[in-house]
């Protein structure tokens, strides 16, 4: 078992920002990650994190499982059909001691993501192989980082942690020097060509019609069908993230750099939150477009709560969240129901479902609730089978989850929506529409555009920006 020698410094952060520190850090420490929250006024969710210097890794990539540990040891094996991802995650985090922390925020643990396709390692389901997809990102990727920088926005404090494992040299002084440095290096971003989609609007409407037919037959009550868009570019995609966080502030903002690919976004929805013995899911289902006029938006919000199609979809997904939590949690209940949340480009209907969980079952609960019903449908298993049958490409990152898994099993991940995968100088983004019997083909097609408009706007703003 590995135990870190942890040292930290606390400094006032009233002249510092997560973006500025990340931009100073990333050239010297590649493969660093950034997680932010815009909810600075809430004491419980007013933290941002920068992690650098990965010293341990767990990865599932195709049919291979591999892990690297701080002492240089490693394991690489071919996956068998009975591979249990929850067991693998529990085994990996058990290598690390989890001492009691004096801080109200996580200071060490696993940071990374679960791709949508990783559900195949939680449940007995297998997605089809697409020969055209020769290069895919890992289905699962988590790292333990030596250095974690935490912004406490509520108290304007900055904490710089160094977790030295297995006699590693401390990077604390070097990090403090970089933080104090005033210069920030910026790189340009430019578009190359025009946006493309893997299907036309009429083709997507045909897809929605197929989804409706399965609802009519009783195969599913609802299913989420998505489409992919791509945009080639040159330069620094971090400029797109900067624009996105400005125009579409969300509870979960993230930029994860893995060298040959990056995932970044502004997600409004948690996949699952586990803190101590309390677990919660906040399903978002029901979407209207914002108009830009506050009075009209308030009227639209009331209309959303009375929309029979949107409310029926919401009820189904709240029930699915209750069922998912009940597989390992007790005392499951709905605490908030059909609340209205306003975001920059859309209005959403949101509920909150909670339960009680013991420590031994925390990671199993991750598998129980993955992927979110709001990204798959109900019944979830059948919806996923149909999604795999009809969608043109693998979802990879879309509909997965990104965030933090503590050594003690605490879990806080965002659903990877309103997000972009950047690789090979190409941005890829997706959105879906919840298809039910009452679905209107034009409305579902427009919903996809409503959900991707913030991404599209951020890309164009980054292209037009002038860096100083």
Instruction: Tell the residue number behind the tokens 């309390």, with chain if given.
Output: 278
Residue 131 has pLDDT above 80, yes or no: no
Residue 23 has pLDDT above 90, yes or no: yes
The two tokens of residue 194 are 């025009």
Bridge partners (DSSP) of residue 65 are: 60, 77
Residue 131's contacts (CB-CB under 8 Å, 6 or more residues apart) are none
pLDDT for 294 = 87
CA atoms within 13 A on the CB side of 199: 21
pLDDT for 290 = 86
Distance separating alpha carbons of residues 376 and 369, to the nearest angstrom: 11
The mean-pLDDT minimum among 44-53, 76-85, 93-102 falls in 93-102
Q: Residue 44 — very low, low, confident or very high, per pLDDT cuts 50/70/90?
A: low
Q: What's the average model confidence in pLDDT over 436-454?
A: 95
User: Of all helices (H) and strands (E), which one includes residue 75?
Assistant: strand 74-78
Instruction: Tell the residue number behind the tokens 């489409």, with chain if given.
Output: 227
Residue 165 has pLDDT above 70, yes or no: yes
Distance separating alpha carbons of residues 32 and 24, to the nearest angstrom: 11
Residue 37's contacts (CB-CB under 8 Å, 6 or more residues apart) are 45, 46, 47, 48, 153, 251, 252, 253
Q: What's the average model confidence in pLDDT over 210-226?
A: 97
Number of domains in the chain: 1
Looking at the chain, how many residues does it have? 468
Structural domain boundaries enclosing 150? 5-464
* Closest residue by Cα to residue 254 from 16, 32, 14, 430: 32
pLDDT for 42 = 61
Distance separating alpha carbons of residues 341 and 338, to the nearest angstrom: 9
Q: Please answer whether residues 300 and 286 qualify as being in contact, where contact means their C-beta atoms are separated by less than 8 angstroms.
A: no
pLDDT for 40 = 52
Assess whether the previous peptide bond of 88 is cis (omega < 30° from 0). no
Q: How far is CA 368 from CA 128, 275, 287, 361, in A?
A: 22, 17, 25, 10
Q: What's the average model confidence in pLDDT over 190-207?
A: 97
CATH code of residue 288: 3.60.120.10
pLDDT for 413 = 96
SS3 track for 396-458: CCCCCEEEEECCCCCEEEEECCCEEEEECCEEEEEEEEEECCCCCHHHHHHHHHHHHHHHHHH
Residue 217 has pLDDT above 90, yes or no: yes
pTM above 0.75, yes or no: yes
Distance separating alpha carbons of residues 264 and 245, to the nearest angstrom: 10
The mean-pLDDT minimum among 35-49, 88-102, 146-160 falls in 35-49
């Amino acid at each position: 078992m590995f135990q870190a020698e942890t040292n930290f410094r606390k400094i006032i952060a009233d002249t510092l920002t997560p973006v500025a520190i990340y931009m100073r850090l990333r050239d010297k420490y590649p493969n660093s990650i950034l997680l932010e929250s815009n909810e600075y006024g809430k004491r419980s969710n007013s933290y941002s994190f920068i992690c650098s210097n990965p010293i341990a890794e767990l990865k599932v990539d195709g049919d291979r499982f591999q892990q690297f540990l701080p002492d240089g040891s490693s394991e690489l094996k071919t996956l068998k059909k009975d591979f249990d991802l929850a067991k693998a995650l529990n085994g990996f985090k058990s290598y690390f001691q989890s001492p009691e922390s004096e801080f109200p925020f996580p200071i060490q643990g696993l940071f990374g993501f679960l791709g949508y396709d990783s559900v195949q390692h939680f449940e007995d389901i297998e997605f089809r192989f697409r020969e055209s997809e020769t290069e895919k990102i890992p289905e699962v990727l988590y790292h333990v980082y030596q250095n974690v920088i935490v912004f406490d926005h509520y108290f304007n404090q900055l904490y710089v942690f160094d977790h030295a494992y297995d006699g590693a040299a401390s990077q604390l002084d070097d990090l403090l020097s970089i933080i104090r440095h005033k210069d920030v290096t910026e790189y340009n971003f430019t578009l190359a060509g025009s946006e493309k989609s893997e299907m036309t609007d009429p083709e997507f409407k045909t897809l929605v019609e197929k989804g409706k037919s399965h609802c009519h037959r009783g195969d599913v009550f609802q299913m989420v069908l998505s489409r992919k868009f791509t945009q080639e570019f040159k330069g620094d995609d971090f400029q797109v993230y900067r624009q996105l966080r400005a125009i579409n502030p969300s509870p979960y903002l993230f930029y994860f750099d893995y060298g040959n690919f990056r995932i970044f976004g502004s997600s409004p929805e948690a996949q699952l939150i586990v803190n101590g013995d309390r677990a919660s899911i906040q399903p978002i289902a029901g979407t209207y477009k914002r108009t830009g006029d506050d009075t009209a938006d308030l009227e639209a919000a009331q209309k959303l709560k009375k929309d029979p199609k949107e409310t029926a979809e919401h009820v189904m997904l709240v029930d699915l969240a209750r069922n998912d939590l009940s597989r390992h949690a007790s005392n499951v209940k709905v605490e908030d129901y059909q609340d209205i949340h306003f975001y920059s480009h859309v209005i959403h209907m949101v509920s909150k479902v909670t339960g009680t969980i013991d420590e031994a079952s925390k990671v199993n609960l991750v598998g129980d609730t993955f992927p979110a019903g709001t990204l798959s449908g109900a019944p979830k298993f059948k919806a996923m089978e149909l999604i795999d049958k009809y969608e043109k490409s693998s979802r990879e990152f879309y509909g997965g989850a990104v965030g933090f898994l503590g050594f003690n099993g605490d879990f806080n991940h965002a659903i990877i929506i309103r997000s972009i995968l950047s690789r090979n100088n190409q941005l890829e983004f997706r959105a879906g529409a919840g298809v039910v019997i009452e679905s209107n083909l034009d409305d579902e097609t427009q919903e996809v555009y409503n959900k991707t408009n913030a991404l599209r706007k951020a890309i164009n703003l980054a292209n037009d920006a002038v860096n100083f």
